[in-house]
Structure 1
Amino acid sequence: MDLTDIRREYTKGGLRRDDLPKEPLVLFNKWLQQAVDANLPDPTAMTIATVNADGQPFQRIVLLKDLDDDGFIFYTNLGSRKAEQLNINNKISLHFPWHILERQVHVTGHVEQLSTLEVMKYFSSRPKESQIAAWASKQSSRLSARQALEGKFFELKQKFSAGEVPLPSFWGGYRVKFDTIEFWQGGKHRLHDRFIYLRNDDNQWDIERLAP
Protein backbone atom coordinates (compact mmCIF):
# COMPACT_ATOMS: atom_id res chain seq x y z
CA MET A 1 0.00 0.00 0.00
CA ASP A 2 1.38 3.37 -1.05
CA LEU A 3 0.46 6.04 1.49
CA THR A 4 2.10 8.95 -0.31
CA ASP A 5 -0.80 9.50 -2.70
CA ILE A 6 -3.55 9.45 -0.08
CA ARG A 7 -4.68 13.05 0.14
CA ARG A 8 -7.71 15.24 -0.40
CA GLU A 9 -8.52 18.90 -0.80
CA TYR A 10 -10.09 20.83 2.08
CA THR A 11 -13.05 22.79 0.77
CA LYS A 12 -15.34 23.56 3.72
CA GLY A 13 -14.24 27.17 3.97
CA GLY A 14 -11.82 29.24 5.98
CA LEU A 15 -11.56 30.94 9.34
CA ARG A 16 -10.83 34.66 9.46
CA ARG A 17 -9.70 36.96 12.24
CA ASP A 18 -12.99 38.85 12.09
CA ASP A 19 -14.83 35.58 12.82
CA LEU A 20 -13.17 35.17 16.21
CA PRO A 21 -14.91 36.14 19.45
CA LYS A 22 -12.92 37.58 22.35
CA GLU A 23 -13.49 34.44 24.45
CA PRO A 24 -12.33 31.08 23.02
CA LEU A 25 -15.13 29.05 24.63
CA VAL A 26 -17.69 30.99 22.59
CA LEU A 27 -16.16 29.62 19.40
CA PHE A 28 -15.53 26.19 20.90
CA ASN A 29 -19.17 25.82 21.95
CA LYS A 30 -20.29 26.93 18.49
CA TRP A 31 -18.06 24.36 16.81
CA LEU A 32 -19.08 21.62 19.23
CA GLN A 33 -22.77 22.31 18.58
CA GLN A 34 -22.13 22.21 14.84
CA ALA A 35 -20.36 18.86 15.27
CA VAL A 36 -23.41 17.55 17.15
CA ASP A 37 -25.82 18.97 14.55
CA ALA A 38 -23.79 17.34 11.77
CA ASN A 39 -24.38 13.95 13.44
CA LEU A 40 -20.68 13.27 13.76
CA PRO A 41 -19.98 10.00 15.57
CA ASP A 42 -18.81 10.75 19.12
CA PRO A 43 -18.63 14.54 18.73
CA THR A 44 -17.45 14.87 22.35
CA ALA A 45 -14.57 12.41 21.88
CA MET A 46 -11.19 13.94 22.62
CA THR A 47 -7.67 12.61 22.66
CA ILE A 48 -5.91 13.40 25.92
CA ALA A 49 -2.15 13.31 26.23
CA THR A 50 -0.21 12.84 29.46
CA VAL A 51 3.45 12.19 30.25
CA ASN A 52 4.95 9.58 32.59
CA ALA A 53 7.86 10.03 34.99
CA ASP A 54 10.35 9.23 32.21
CA GLY A 55 8.93 11.86 29.86
CA GLN A 56 7.18 9.28 27.66
CA PRO A 57 3.93 10.72 26.22
CA PHE A 58 0.75 8.62 26.18
CA GLN A 59 -2.50 9.31 24.35
CA ARG A 60 -6.00 7.87 24.61
CA ILE A 61 -9.55 8.89 23.73
CA VAL A 62 -12.07 9.86 26.42
CA LEU A 63 -15.38 11.70 26.29
CA LEU A 64 -15.85 15.32 27.29
CA LYS A 65 -18.61 15.28 29.90
CA ASP A 66 -18.98 18.94 30.82
CA LEU A 67 -17.57 22.34 30.00
CA ASP A 68 -17.78 25.71 31.69
CA ASP A 69 -15.65 28.81 32.20
CA ASP A 70 -13.52 26.86 34.68
CA GLY A 71 -12.53 24.12 32.25
CA PHE A 72 -13.14 20.86 30.40
CA ILE A 73 -14.34 17.89 32.50
CA PHE A 74 -13.80 14.16 32.07
CA TYR A 75 -14.07 11.12 34.37
CA THR A 76 -11.86 8.08 34.86
CA ASN A 77 -10.60 5.38 37.19
CA LEU A 78 -8.17 7.06 39.59
CA GLY A 79 -5.95 3.98 39.45
CA SER A 80 -5.61 4.17 35.67
CA ARG A 81 -2.38 4.95 33.89
CA LYS A 82 -3.58 8.41 32.93
CA ALA A 83 -4.48 9.23 36.53
CA GLU A 84 -1.15 7.98 37.84
CA GLN A 85 0.67 10.13 35.29
CA LEU A 86 -1.44 13.19 36.13
CA ASN A 87 -0.54 12.72 39.79
CA ILE A 88 3.11 13.07 38.79
CA ASN A 89 2.66 15.82 36.21
CA ASN A 90 -0.69 17.58 36.09
CA LYS A 91 -0.11 19.15 32.67
CA ILE A 92 -2.35 17.83 29.90
CA SER A 93 -3.23 18.28 26.24
CA LEU A 94 -6.64 17.75 24.63
CA HIS A 95 -7.39 17.29 20.93
CA PHE A 96 -10.80 17.28 19.23
CA PRO A 97 -10.60 15.79 15.70
CA TRP A 98 -13.72 16.84 13.80
CA HIS A 99 -12.47 15.50 10.46
CA ILE A 100 -15.74 15.64 8.55
CA LEU A 101 -16.00 19.37 9.25
CA GLU A 102 -12.28 19.76 8.45
CA ARG A 103 -11.68 21.13 11.92
CA GLN A 104 -9.45 20.47 14.89
CA VAL A 105 -9.22 22.05 18.33
CA HIS A 106 -6.16 21.69 20.53
CA VAL A 107 -6.14 22.62 24.22
CA THR A 108 -3.28 22.79 26.72
CA GLY A 109 -3.48 23.28 30.47
CA HIS A 110 -3.37 21.44 33.78
CA VAL A 111 -5.85 19.32 35.70
CA GLU A 112 -7.52 19.68 39.06
CA GLN A 113 -9.31 16.71 40.60
CA LEU A 114 -13.07 17.08 40.98
CA SER A 115 -14.79 17.04 44.36
CA THR A 116 -16.58 13.92 45.58
CA LEU A 117 -19.90 15.77 45.25
CA GLU A 118 -19.24 16.59 41.58
CA VAL A 119 -18.20 13.00 40.87
CA MET A 120 -21.19 11.54 42.72
CA LYS A 121 -23.61 13.76 40.80
CA TYR A 122 -22.29 12.51 37.46
CA PHE A 123 -21.85 8.88 38.53
CA SER A 124 -25.48 8.66 39.67
CA SER A 125 -26.62 9.89 36.25
CA ARG A 126 -24.89 7.05 34.37
CA PRO A 127 -26.75 3.94 33.20
CA LYS A 128 -26.57 1.20 35.83
CA GLU A 129 -24.52 -1.07 33.56
CA SER A 130 -21.92 1.67 33.18
CA GLN A 131 -21.79 2.13 36.93
CA ILE A 132 -21.20 -1.60 37.38
CA ALA A 133 -18.53 -1.58 34.66
CA ALA A 134 -16.65 1.06 36.65
CA TRP A 135 -16.53 -1.37 39.56
CA ALA A 136 -15.60 -4.35 37.38
CA SER A 137 -12.64 -2.85 35.55
CA LYS A 138 -9.35 -2.21 37.28
CA GLN A 139 -8.38 0.12 34.47
CA SER A 140 -4.96 -0.29 32.85
CA SER A 141 -4.17 -3.47 34.84
CA ARG A 142 -3.29 -6.65 32.95
CA LEU A 143 -6.01 -9.24 32.25
CA SER A 144 -5.51 -12.97 31.74
CA ALA A 145 -8.56 -13.11 29.45
CA ARG A 146 -11.69 -11.14 28.54
CA GLN A 147 -13.75 -13.78 30.34
CA ALA A 148 -12.26 -12.61 33.64
CA LEU A 149 -13.59 -9.09 33.05
CA GLU A 150 -17.00 -10.31 31.91
CA GLY A 151 -17.23 -12.70 34.85
CA LYS A 152 -16.53 -9.87 37.30
CA PHE A 153 -19.12 -7.68 35.60
CA PHE A 154 -21.88 -10.31 35.86
CA GLU A 155 -20.92 -11.09 39.46
CA LEU A 156 -21.31 -7.41 40.38
CA LYS A 157 -24.47 -7.08 38.32
CA GLN A 158 -26.05 -9.77 40.46
CA LYS A 159 -24.71 -8.19 43.65
CA PHE A 160 -26.19 -4.78 42.85
CA SER A 161 -29.37 -6.04 41.19
CA ALA A 162 -31.65 -5.06 44.06
CA GLY A 163 -30.32 -1.60 44.84
CA GLU A 164 -28.26 1.40 43.86
CA VAL A 165 -24.64 1.09 42.78
CA PRO A 166 -22.38 3.00 45.21
CA LEU A 167 -19.66 5.33 44.01
CA PRO A 168 -16.33 3.47 43.90
CA SER A 169 -13.62 5.13 45.99
CA PHE A 170 -11.22 4.70 43.05
CA TRP A 171 -13.41 6.49 40.50
CA GLY A 172 -13.28 10.24 39.94
CA GLY A 173 -12.81 13.04 37.48
CA TYR A 174 -10.71 16.00 36.42
CA ARG A 175 -11.24 19.57 35.35
CA VAL A 176 -8.79 20.79 32.72
CA LYS A 177 -7.90 24.41 33.46
CA PHE A 178 -6.86 25.66 30.04
CA ASP A 179 -4.12 28.14 29.11
CA THR A 180 -4.29 27.87 25.31
CA ILE A 181 -6.92 26.84 22.78
CA GLU A 182 -6.01 26.50 19.11
CA PHE A 183 -8.60 26.36 16.33
CA TRP A 184 -7.69 24.74 12.99
CA GLN A 185 -9.84 24.98 9.88
CA GLY A 186 -8.82 23.20 6.70
CA GLY A 187 -8.12 25.33 3.63
CA LYS A 188 -7.50 24.86 -0.08
CA HIS A 189 -4.00 24.00 -1.28
CA ARG A 190 -3.02 23.17 2.34
CA LEU A 191 -3.31 26.85 3.27
CA HIS A 192 -5.13 26.03 6.48
CA ASP A 193 -6.28 28.61 9.00
CA ARG A 194 -4.92 28.35 12.54
CA PHE A 195 -5.60 30.70 15.42
CA ILE A 196 -4.44 30.27 18.98
CA TYR A 197 -5.85 31.91 22.10
CA LEU A 198 -3.22 32.42 24.81
CA ARG A 199 -4.07 33.44 28.37
CA ASN A 200 -1.98 36.48 29.36
CA ASP A 201 -0.83 37.78 32.74
CA ASP A 202 -4.06 39.78 33.12
CA ASN A 203 -6.12 36.59 32.67
CA GLN A 204 -7.31 37.88 29.31
CA TRP A 205 -6.87 36.32 25.89
CA ASP A 206 -4.35 37.20 23.23
CA ILE A 207 -5.10 35.85 19.74
CA GLU A 208 -2.42 34.98 17.20
CA ARG A 209 -2.58 33.50 13.72
CA LEU A 210 -0.23 30.55 13.14
CA ALA A 211 1.22 29.35 9.86
CA PRO A 212 -0.35 26.06 8.72
Structure 2
Amino acid sequence: MTLQEISDDGGIIFYTYLNSLKAKQIEENPQVSVSFLFLYTNETSNKKITQQVRMKGRIETMRTCCNAKIFEKQPLYAKIRTVIIAEQGVPVAWEELKKKHDRVLAKVNKGEMEFKVPKQFVLYKIIPARYDFYYFNENEIGDRIFFSKSEDDKWDHGHLTA
Protein backbone atom coordinates (compact mmCIF):
# COMPACT_ATOMS: atom_id res chain seq x y z
CA MET A 1 0.00 0.00 0.00
CA THR A 2 1.36 3.37 -0.96
CA LEU A 3 -0.38 6.23 0.82
CA GLN A 4 -1.20 8.94 -1.71
CA GLU A 5 -3.54 11.40 -0.03
CA ILE A 6 -5.78 11.96 2.94
CA SER A 7 -9.19 12.97 1.66
CA ASP A 8 -11.29 15.85 2.98
CA ASP A 9 -13.49 13.36 4.85
CA GLY A 10 -10.47 11.76 6.58
CA GLY A 11 -10.19 8.75 4.30
CA ILE A 12 -6.86 7.33 3.23
CA ILE A 13 -6.32 7.08 -0.52
CA PHE A 14 -3.83 4.60 -1.90
CA TYR A 15 -3.20 2.71 -5.10
CA THR A 16 -2.39 -0.80 -6.05
CA TYR A 17 -2.81 -2.98 -9.12
CA LEU A 18 -5.75 -5.19 -9.98
CA ASN A 19 -3.31 -8.06 -10.52
CA SER A 20 -2.07 -7.88 -6.92
CA LEU A 21 -2.97 -10.14 -4.02
CA LYS A 22 -4.10 -7.01 -2.14
CA ALA A 23 -6.74 -6.20 -4.78
CA LYS A 24 -8.01 -9.78 -4.72
CA GLN A 25 -8.29 -9.71 -0.93
CA ILE A 26 -10.11 -6.35 -0.98
CA GLU A 27 -12.61 -7.75 -3.47
CA GLU A 28 -13.29 -10.68 -1.12
CA ASN A 29 -13.51 -8.56 2.04
CA PRO A 30 -13.84 -4.75 1.94
CA GLN A 31 -13.34 -4.41 5.73
CA VAL A 32 -9.78 -3.26 6.44
CA SER A 33 -7.43 -2.17 9.17
CA VAL A 34 -4.18 -0.25 8.70
CA SER A 35 -1.53 0.65 11.26
CA PHE A 36 1.18 3.26 11.27
CA LEU A 37 4.01 2.81 13.77
CA PHE A 38 6.35 5.64 14.79
CA LEU A 39 9.45 4.87 16.87
CA TYR A 40 11.80 7.71 17.76
CA THR A 41 13.87 9.27 20.51
CA ASN A 42 12.75 12.59 21.96
CA GLU A 43 15.66 15.00 21.39
CA THR A 44 15.00 16.97 24.58
CA SER A 45 14.43 14.17 27.11
CA ASN A 46 16.31 11.44 25.22
CA LYS A 47 13.37 9.08 25.94
CA LYS A 48 12.37 6.42 23.46
CA ILE A 49 8.84 7.11 22.19
CA THR A 50 6.41 4.67 20.60
CA GLN A 51 3.34 5.95 18.82
CA GLN A 52 0.88 3.96 16.76
CA VAL A 53 -2.22 4.90 14.85
CA ARG A 54 -4.62 2.15 13.82
CA MET A 55 -7.51 2.86 11.48
CA LYS A 56 -10.39 0.47 10.82
CA GLY A 57 -13.12 0.85 8.27
CA ARG A 58 -14.38 -0.20 4.89
CA ILE A 59 -12.70 0.27 1.58
CA GLU A 60 -14.14 1.42 -1.71
CA THR A 61 -12.81 1.71 -5.23
CA MET A 62 -12.50 5.30 -6.39
CA ARG A 63 -13.67 6.59 -9.74
CA THR A 64 -11.10 6.25 -12.50
CA CYS A 65 -11.10 10.00 -13.19
CA CYS A 66 -8.68 10.43 -10.27
CA ASN A 67 -6.22 7.79 -11.50
CA ALA A 68 -4.32 9.99 -13.97
CA LYS A 69 -3.59 12.66 -11.37
CA ILE A 70 -2.18 10.11 -8.92
CA PHE A 71 -0.35 8.08 -11.58
CA GLU A 72 1.48 11.16 -12.88
CA LYS A 73 2.97 11.76 -9.42
CA GLN A 74 4.53 8.29 -9.26
CA PRO A 75 8.31 7.89 -9.51
CA LEU A 76 9.78 6.51 -12.71
CA TYR A 77 10.58 3.08 -11.21
CA ALA A 78 6.89 2.63 -10.27
CA LYS A 79 5.77 3.49 -13.79
CA ILE A 80 8.29 1.08 -15.29
CA ARG A 81 6.98 -1.62 -12.96
CA THR A 82 3.51 -1.24 -14.52
CA VAL A 83 4.96 -2.16 -17.91
CA ILE A 84 7.25 -5.04 -16.99
CA ILE A 85 5.26 -6.92 -14.34
CA ALA A 86 2.23 -8.92 -15.40
CA GLU A 87 1.34 -10.23 -11.93
CA GLN A 88 2.66 -9.14 -8.56
CA GLY A 89 4.02 -11.52 -5.95
CA VAL A 90 4.95 -14.43 -8.17
CA PRO A 91 8.39 -16.05 -8.59
CA VAL A 92 10.51 -14.36 -11.23
CA ALA A 93 13.75 -14.87 -13.13
CA TRP A 94 15.54 -11.80 -11.76
CA GLU A 95 17.97 -11.36 -14.66
CA GLU A 96 15.15 -11.41 -17.23
CA LEU A 97 13.16 -8.88 -15.23
CA LYS A 98 16.23 -6.66 -14.94
CA LYS A 99 16.75 -6.80 -18.73
CA LYS A 100 13.12 -5.78 -19.32
CA HIS A 101 13.55 -2.91 -16.87
CA ASP A 102 16.73 -1.70 -18.54
CA ARG A 103 15.15 -1.81 -22.02
CA VAL A 104 12.15 0.25 -20.88
CA LEU A 105 14.39 2.69 -19.01
CA ALA A 106 16.54 3.18 -22.12
CA LYS A 107 13.44 3.93 -24.22
CA VAL A 108 12.23 6.45 -21.66
CA ASN A 109 15.64 8.15 -21.49
CA LYS A 110 15.71 8.43 -25.30
CA GLY A 111 12.23 9.94 -25.33
CA GLU A 112 10.84 6.94 -27.21
CA MET A 113 8.31 5.98 -24.56
CA GLU A 114 5.71 7.72 -22.43
CA PHE A 115 3.52 6.20 -19.79
CA LYS A 116 -0.24 6.06 -19.79
CA VAL A 117 -2.33 5.04 -16.83
CA PRO A 118 -2.43 1.24 -17.05
CA LYS A 119 -5.77 -0.56 -16.89
CA GLN A 120 -4.69 -2.44 -13.77
CA PHE A 121 -3.94 0.78 -11.82
CA VAL A 122 -6.67 1.25 -9.22
CA LEU A 123 -7.26 3.75 -6.42
CA TYR A 124 -8.90 2.76 -3.17
CA LYS A 125 -10.16 4.85 -0.31
CA ILE A 126 -10.45 3.63 3.25
CA ILE A 127 -13.52 5.14 4.92
CA PRO A 128 -12.69 5.27 8.63
CA ALA A 129 -15.06 3.92 11.27
CA ARG A 130 -12.55 3.77 14.15
CA TYR A 131 -9.16 5.15 15.11
CA ASP A 132 -6.91 4.00 17.96
CA PHE A 133 -4.04 6.27 18.99
CA TYR A 134 -1.41 4.68 21.21
CA TYR A 135 1.38 6.61 22.93
CA PHE A 136 4.11 5.16 25.14
CA ASN A 137 7.44 6.35 26.42
CA GLU A 138 9.95 4.93 28.83
CA ASN A 139 8.93 4.68 32.49
CA GLU A 140 5.39 5.98 31.98
CA ILE A 141 2.03 4.33 31.54
CA GLY A 142 0.91 3.96 27.93
CA ASP A 143 -2.07 5.96 26.73
CA ARG A 144 -4.52 4.57 24.20
CA ILE A 145 -7.35 6.75 22.94
CA PHE A 146 -10.05 5.58 20.56
CA PHE A 147 -12.43 7.46 18.30
CA SER A 148 -15.32 5.40 16.98
CA LYS A 149 -18.07 6.52 14.61
CA SER A 150 -21.53 5.88 16.02
CA GLU A 151 -24.64 4.95 14.08
CA ASP A 152 -25.73 8.60 14.05
CA ASP A 153 -22.45 9.48 12.28
CA LYS A 154 -20.87 11.16 15.31
CA TRP A 155 -17.48 10.34 16.79
CA ASP A 156 -17.39 8.84 20.29
CA HIS A 157 -14.06 8.73 22.10
CA GLY A 158 -12.42 7.50 25.26
CA HIS A 159 -9.43 5.77 26.78
CA LEU A 160 -8.61 2.07 26.52
CA THR A 161 -6.16 -0.07 28.38
CA ALA A 162 -2.91 -0.15 26.47
User: TM-score, structure 1 length as denominator?
Assistant: 0.65
TM-align CA RMSD: 1.8
Rounded to whole Å, the distance in 1 between the matches of 2:122 and 2:105 is 21
Aligned to 1:66: 5
Report if aligned partners of 2:2, 2:16 keep a CA contact under 8 Å in 1: no
Bigger RCO (CA 8 Å, 6+ sep): 2
Matches of residues 77-88 of structure 1 in structure 2 within 5 Å? 77-88=17-28
Aligned to 2:150: 200
Report if aligned partners of 2:31, 2:59 keep a CA contact under 8 Å in 1: yes
Aligned-partner SS, 1:75: strand
Rounded to whole Å, the distance in 2 between the matches of 1:186 and 1:115 is 39
Distance verdict in 2 for CA 1:187–1:70, change over 3 Å = closer
Q: Shift of residue 159 of structure 1?
A: 4.7
Give the fraction of aligned pairs with identical amino acids, expressed as a percent: 26
Rounded to whole Å, the distance in 2 between the matches of 1:70 and 1:105 is 14
Report if aligned partners of 1:128, 1:165 keep a CA contact under 8 Å in 2: no
Where structure 1 has 5 or more consecutive residues not aligned to the other structure, the ranges are 1-61
Rounded to whole Å, the distance in 2 between the matches of 1:211 and 1:65 is 32
Aligned to 1:125: 73
User: TM-score, structure 2 length as denominator?
Assistant: 0.84
Where structure 2 has 5 or more consecutive residues not aligned to the other structure, the ranges are 41-48
Are positions 1:140 and 2:89 aligned together? yes
Rounded to whole Å, the distance in 2 between the matches of 1:70 and 1:119 is 19
